[in-house]
Chains A and B, each alone.
Chain A
């Protein structure tokens, strides 16, 4: 039996409907349970002494005064923890030539960025631990620092890690066709340089971990705000020399993640190590200032790009040189090379062309570590691609919508492999663009723009097509030796009252995992979503899985849930058929009732099946399988990734006297395959767009030449707030993946992927008549006025 997704009136048609999230009710009542909400008996708190230098040799560490402070219990240095915790290296075997040195939970000999944890102080309260940390004296001998990306490999730039020989972490070039010849001969070549600023995720709940080591059981339990509990389980076990089976990682409510909480952090591992040493619960709650120097950073790319076109405006090729600085260490275990790698894959993604070159150079520097953050690489690649496409359109006098129509991959051209080497199963660029043009009433908007320009009001329309990588296979990490699971599993269990419990390896950080899993399982089993309870984020009970990242939850975890739910349905029907003297194939389960499939006639409640199986199994035939609990795992196999597509538009007004940009409206049409819950998808897109707008207009971690962070507070690092954000129109095209019965791809990156480019193009559309253009994000009022030549000094 297959699900007739095209029939909204089919029985149990929960997939595709807006149903409320089962966990939202308690969150609005203040009944969430985030890690910092948990207090355990004998719990103590840890605070860290962090390096105030970007690069310094660590000399003597004086802890005596701290240790005698009332309320301080223990002080740990890097050497103390090195005895119980092995170092790590964020490398993947398939990333040829990649280098990174070993990293310890607390720096041993050298501190390599401002914020690197050096000493841990344990106190009865966080205030005690902080007071103790303030009394620790560390002798730092400042060393030369590397901060600039483009000069990191110059011969006269100091080498950050001597053992590695140079400051190159990784370099990869992706090339196809005859790029040099094509660009030499092309009718039109357009060039530009681009910068995406260094960002950080700013999850509203800072990172937090509470680790208990129970020596009696020989078991560690880590309550942690994290996206990938099974991954963390294996890594804590490995580095702290505990059997994997004796580490339990529990992720309850998580206050935002966006990729920030999918990595291994030295302060979190240190907390676990300290818990093991002290044999009591230890909590580390990052404060916001620590978050700015301790959480991963991202983006920080500088690129030059060229696009070649023929007379008709047909794109011939792209040629991009991308550089990124990732701090002093590659992140563990995913590596810090992936954002650059994604750029080499994603440039030109929506378009047909034959000639391609993109090189990324990933360099070390004395700043915070960069790593995967929402829409890894996408905003960079889309900004470069769409910035070049729009610039070409302007220079050739072709409407930007029209130029895209001439070049977007045809909707019937799939499957295909792009010049960059991406295998695409099925996308809908043209249908999406058509839907966008209609949703925004493009012609009317252009007319309005023209009319207002005559009155001195400068408005701009920006378009950005994009592709989005979702549902990653083991080709992303597993192939490189990282124990990061690309498969995922779901166990579905029916209880005596006919209600259902589903345990999934996918985790919830607000996306709505619990809601969509409940919908999928409800439809698969044949009960209402209210009859389904979802359990996530506990390595002791959930099937082994990868967690939630790279927009894999719905597509991979969802399919496992669908298949597990179908299996339980089959089991329940087999029992019911036996009880009813009917054929299982003639029965169906609808809204918790076993019915005659043909007529819909009610035959028996599921609760009756549950009663008999669990309490009167003696009345069933001997040998009848009666496991109303089934587990299924799913992994994609036909394609390394399920690509999705979409297109965004931004409408802005630029105050050309002040440089301020007012966001008037934003549109997004995207295709994430089968939509499970329209409301949740829309809000994923909206949230993602605003994160992308943050990149375009506000967000930038600033360092000085000495590697000192200049804006590490929420007052100084500007995130989007409600006052400046626009209303957003969201539309969908649905091209389900055929990899799975569910057909779902991911939707988590789309908004963030396309918004910066759309806003950039809109600003440039507004100011182009005045002779300016901006390509270095964020587009601050000042940068816009400098582009216009209003400010020159």
Chain B
């Protein structure tokens, strides 16, 4: 189908975008890379949106160090996440996740902010954000708001971002020496959304596990994390089965996804040399 939209405009700055959002009076939709939004328009799952193209806001692009955090602008594209040396050094999980997103042409346009804000439960970045204990930085009419990633994702395509806010950046604690980041997923074909995936960070001997495609949102798998901290792989796999809450669709049943999560965790444990 053709995209049916209500109107289009470009925002020059974050504050400009915020005023445009206000002007659109609830119908405003932020357009960054558009790789999910335009697909949704073409599928007819959304229409009549007032598009606010924020792609030209330079301040929202690229990664920088701020104290002990790496700040990655919302408009940083997947291709840049995969190749930026700063990200590879300080947030290797994201650098490892980026190549798993779709295909070349999508990675050249799609942005990390778009992915986080869209909150597809099968997407890689939201789970990475949780595993990294990252912070989502929102800009709104009342200023900046910082939300812990695990509090940001509320449900299926639902986040803590208010309609009048812009997801401006993600702040990631910089990886310490010896910190390990692993992401594994199982997808039917290269570039497909995963049937199940786990993003794992081991920091100071403690593990954080973000699960994707295993629930209506990215999930922090606290049961499995605790068991893994204790070196109990079997226990971690058993706990993971209750940590996650997958649904069934035409690709796979919930039972299969749950099983797959356990297999991925065992393989990650081997990657990490646990147990």
Contacts and interface: CB of A to CB of B under 8 A. Distances in A.
Do A and B share a direct contact in the complex (Cβ within 8 angstroms)?
Answer: yes
Interface of A: 126-127, 130-131, 134, 287, 289, 657-660, 698, 700, 702, 710-711, 713, 715-716, 718, 720-721, 723-724, 780-782, 785, 790-791, 793
Interface stretch (B11-19, B156-164, B203-211, B249-257): B249-257
B88 interface: no
Contacts of A711: 250
Contacts of B191: 721, 723
A785 B256 contact: yes
Contacts of B43: 289, 713
A718 B263 contact: no
A669 B232 CA distance: 52
Given A130-B2, A790-B259, A660 B252 contact: no
A714 to B, nearest CB: 11
Interface stretch (B63-71, B107-115, B130-138, B182-190): B182-190
B34 to A, nearest CB: 16
A633 to B, nearest CB: 45
B23 interface: no
Interface string B38-54: 00000110000000000
B260 interface: yes
Nearest to B249: A710
Nearest to B256: A782
B9 interface: no
B259 A718 contact: no
A131 B41 CA distance: 13
Nearest to B253: A782
Interface string B230-250: 000000000000000000011
A730 to B, nearest CB: 24
B2 A658 contact: no
A710 B250 contact: yes
B1 to A, nearest CB: 6
B259 A791 contact: yes
Nearest to B257: A782
A126 B195 CA distance: 35
A722 B178 CA distance: 37
26 contacts: A127-B4, A130-B1, A131-B4, A134-B4, A289-B1, A658-B186, A659-B256, A660-B186, A700-B250, A702-B250, A710-B249, A710-B250, A711-B250, A716-B250, A716-B251, A720-B189, A723-B190, A723-B191, A780-B188, A780-B251, A780-B252, A781-B186, A781-B188, A781-B195, A782-B253, A791-B259
A711 B43 CA distance: 12
Contact of A658 (B1, B253, B260): B260
A785 B253 CA distance: 12
Contacts of A718: 188-189, 192
A588 B192 CA distance: 60
Contacts of A720: 189
A660 B263 CA distance: 12
A657 B267 CA distance: 11
Contacts of B256: 659, 781-782, 785, 791
A720 B1 CA distance: 24
Nearest to B193: A715
A354 B195 CA distance: 48
Interface string B249-275: 111110110011001000000000000
Given A127-B4, A289-B1, A780-B252, A698 B259 contact: no
Contacts of A131: 4
Contact of B255 (A134, A710, A791): A791
Contacts of A134: 4
Contacts of A127: 2, 4
A636 to B, nearest CB: 41
A723 B189 CA distance: 7
B270 to A, nearest CB: 12
A700 B256 CA distance: 18
Interface string B71-90: 00000000000000000000
B188 A698 contact: yes
B185 to A, nearest CB: 11
A718 to B, nearest CB: 6
A780 B250 CA distance: 11
B213 to A, nearest CB: 14
Nearest to B2: A127
A25 to B, nearest CB: 26
Contacts of B250: 700, 702, 710-711, 716
Contacts of A713: 43
A416 to B, nearest CB: 44
A117 to B, nearest CB: 15
Contacts of A660: 186
A287 B1 contact: yes
Nearest to B260: A658
Contacts of B251: 716, 780
Nearest to A287: B1
Contact of A126 (B2, B188, B263): B2
A785 B259 contact: yes
Nearest to B264: A658
